[in-house]
């Protein structure tokens, strides 16, 4: 017996009693009254009929006929003279026939009351009717019905009522048992599943029993397990990638440091080359660590942004300046088309510059010839930026994945070019943290275009 069963059972029992008890009482009352008044009616009519039929109180045959009639109809009769003296009876003696009763009858009015038989002490429902002959009150005719006879059918009905109430109660209890079992079984299953999930057993699923709230709870638990599972494998994969990403530069560092230590080089030029590699790998390691740190802060929602109202174009100019040398070195043209009087936006200047430096850096890094262009304009309460290049492009299948951490289209080339695979993931996070949006489109071998927009400041 579980708690839901107890609670539900208790409630239904209480409700049942609250409804059944008054209902039973009322039904009992109605039936009793009905029977009593029916019997009263009957003996009232009989007494009237008999009183009217009687012609003489002295006629023994008539009196005897009534006695027989009383026997046949299971009623008693009692005939008195005008002064109350008994003329005939069917073995009853009315113990409580009063002068008042006689008085009322002599006034021509019938009486109805409960009489007691002084011989047997049993009670009768009685009706008395005056015998009037040629306008004189001659006596009274009483017809009596034993109260037991009246009570018997009432008692029967009462038993029936109680029986059906008890039946209904058991039915309700059975129903409660089944219903609460149907309700609590899935809940118990969900409890066990949740405990399994808490223990790390993420493959458990609960049956979804119905389309109601219990069903959606089950669905929520299944979703939780699914989501946690996804998170766990994501995390596993993330750590595997990080250790791999960290191990690679470190093994380079160790390898070239050993070469230098053991003088395993031929020329001074070679020595400088090795030192360069060490320096580059160290730089990359620092970048990787910084990127990881940024990303983890963003994913935990702990990135503190110093928001202020700023001029996006100024920030963009500063980022452009940083990539200028590199692009000139590669012989690329840097084209800019920046609208005048672009409205200010609400952003963190340093982080906004990080976004542009990253995108422009990628554009220059993945472009061998042609140009990198930047466009800025204002429309629909948003400042829009397009950073476009004529580089290698991104294959269709990778387009939706480039914003994921560590996703690189061509691992070796990205590495060769000093990439960490975290840049775009950080860019997307930063853009969204500053209420902006970013999208990418590209054609393999032709170029790539990143489009950003930020809401203008109020």
Interface residue list for ligand ADP (CB under 6 A): 362-363, 366, 389, 391-394, 402, 407-410, 414, 419-425, 448
Q: Which is nearer to ligand ADP, 79 or 285 (CB)?
A: 285
Q: Shortest approach of ligand ADP to residue 328 CB, angstroms?
A: 18
What sign results for the dihedral spanned by CA atoms 314, 316, 318, 321? negative
Distance CA 438, CA 402 (A): 12
Q: Which is nearer to ligand ADP, 101 or 389 (CB)?
A: 389
Q: Shortest approach of ligand ADP to residue 199 CB, angstroms?
A: 37
Cα–Cα nearest to 353, from 388, 391, 306, 284:
306
Q: Which is nearer to ligand ADP, 80 or 442 (CB)?
A: 442
Q: Shortest approach of ligand ADP to residue 377 CB, angstroms?
A: 21
Q: Shortest approach of ligand ADP to residue 393 CB, angstroms?
A: 6
Q: Which is nearer to ligand ADP, 112 or 375 (CB)?
A: 375
Q: Which is nearer to ligand ADP, 42 or 410 (CB)?
A: 410
Distance CA 215, CA 222 (A): 11
In sequence order, which ranges of 143-212 are alpha helices (DSSP H)? 147-198
Cα–Cα nearest to 396, from 440, 443, 363, 447:
443
Q: Which is nearer to ligand ADP, 144 or 392 (CB)?
A: 392
Tell me 117's DSSP state. B
Q: Shortest approach of ligand ADP to residue 234 CB, angstroms?
A: 17
Q: Which is nearer to ligand ADP, 271 or 449 (CB)?
A: 449
Residues 6 or more apart whose CB falls under 8 angstroms from that of 51 comprise: 129, 130, 131, 132, 140, 141
Q: Which is nearer to ligand ADP, 66 or 366 (CB)?
A: 366
Phi and psi angles of residue 134, each rounded to the nearest 5 degrees, phi first: 35, 60
Q: Shortest approach of ligand ADP to residue 391 CB, angstroms?
A: 5
* 312-329 and 349-365 helices, crossing angle to 10°: 30
Overall size of the chain counted in residues: 458
In sequence order, which ranges of 300-395 are alpha helices (DSSP H)? 312-329, 349-365
Distance CA 448, CA 389 (A): 5
Q: What is the DSSP string of 313-328?
A: HHHHHHHHHHHHHHHH
Tokens linked to 33: 């009254």
Q: Which is nearer to ligand ADP, 363 or 383 (CB)?
A: 363
Phi and psi angles of residue 372, each rounded to the nearest 5 degrees, phi first: -120, 125
Q: Shortest approach of ligand ADP to residue 365 CB, angstroms?
A: 7
At 235, which helix (H) or strand (E)?
helix 213-261
8 A C-beta contact, residue 12 and residue 176: yes
Helix (H, G, I), strand (E, B) or coil at 455: strand
Q: Shortest approach of ligand ADP to residue 293 CB, angstroms?
A: 16
Q: Shortest approach of ligand ADP to residue 239 CB, angstroms?
A: 19
Q: What is the DSSP string of 65-94?
A: HHHHHHHHHT-EEEEEETTS-EEEESS--B
Tokens linked to 428: 């997307």
8 A C-beta contact, residue 103 and residue 120: no
8 A C-beta contact, residue 394 and residue 442: yes
Q: Shortest approach of ligand ADP to residue 244 CB, angstroms?
A: 14
Q: Shortest approach of ligand ADP to residue 237 CB, angstroms?
A: 16
Q: Which is nearer to ligand ADP, 75 or 408 (CB)?
A: 408
Q: Shortest approach of ligand ADP to residue 333 CB, angstroms?
A: 15
- Strands 371-379 and 333-338, how do they pair? parallel
Q: Which is nearer to ligand ADP, 54 or 402 (CB)?
A: 402
Q: Which is nearer to ligand ADP, 345 or 394 (CB)?
A: 394
């Amino acid at each position: 017996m579980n708690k839901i069963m107890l609670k539900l059972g208790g409630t239904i029992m209480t409700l049942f009693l609250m409804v059944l008890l008054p209902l039973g009482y009322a039904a009992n009352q109605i039936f009793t009254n009905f029977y009593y008044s029916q019997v009263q009616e009957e003996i009232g009519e009989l007494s009237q009929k008999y009183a009217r039929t009687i012609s003489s109180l002295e006629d023994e045959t008539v009196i005897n006929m009534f006695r027989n009639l009383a026997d046949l109809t299971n009623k008693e009769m009692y005939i008195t003279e005008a002064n109350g003296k008994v003329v005939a009876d069917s073995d009853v003696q009315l113990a409580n026939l009063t002068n008042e009763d006689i008085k009322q009858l002599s006034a021509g009015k019938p009486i109805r009351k409960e009489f007691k038989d002084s011989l047997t002490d049993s009670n009768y429902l009685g009706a008395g009717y005056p015998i009037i002959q040629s306008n004189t009150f001659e006596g009274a005719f009483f017809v009596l019905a034993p109260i037991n006879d009246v009570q018997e059918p009432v008692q029967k009905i009462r038993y029936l009522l109680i029986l059906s109430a008890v039946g209904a109660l058991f039915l309700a209890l059975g129903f409660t048992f089944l219903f609460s079992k149907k309700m609590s079984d899935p809940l118990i299953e969900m409890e066990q599943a949740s405990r399994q999930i808490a223990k790390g057993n993420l493959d458990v699923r609960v049956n979804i029993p119905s389309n109601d709230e219990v069903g959606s709870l089950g669905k929520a638990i299944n979703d939780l397990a699914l989501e946690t599972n996804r998170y766990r494998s994501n995390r596993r994969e993330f750590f595997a990638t990080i250790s791999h990403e960290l191990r690679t530069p470190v093994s380079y560092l160790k390898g070239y440091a050993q070469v230098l230590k053991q003088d395993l080089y031929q020329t001074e030029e070679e020595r400088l080359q090795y030192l360069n590699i060490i320096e580059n790998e160290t730089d990359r390691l620092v970048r990787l660590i910084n990127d990881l740190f940024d990303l983890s802060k963003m994913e935990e929602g702990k990135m503190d942004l110093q928001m202020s109202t700023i001029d996006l174009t100024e920030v963009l100019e500063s980022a452009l300046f940083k990539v200028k040398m590199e692009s000139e070195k590669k012989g690329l043209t840097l084209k800019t088309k920046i609208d005048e009087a672009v409205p200010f936006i609400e952003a963190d200047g340093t982080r906004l510059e990080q976004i542009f430096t990253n995108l422009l850096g990628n554009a220059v890094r993945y472009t061998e010839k042609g140009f990198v262009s930047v466009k800025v304009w204002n429309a629909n309460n948003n400042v829009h930026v397009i950073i476009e290049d004529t580089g290698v492009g991104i294959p269709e299948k990778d387009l939706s994945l480039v914003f994921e951490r560590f996703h690189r289209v061509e691992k070796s080339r990205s590495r060769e070019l000093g990439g960490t695979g975290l840049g775009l993931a950080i860019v997307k996070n930063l853009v969204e943290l500053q209420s902006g949006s970013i999208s990418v489109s590209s054609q393999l071998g032709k170029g790539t275009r990143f489009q950003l927009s930020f809401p203008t400041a109020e």
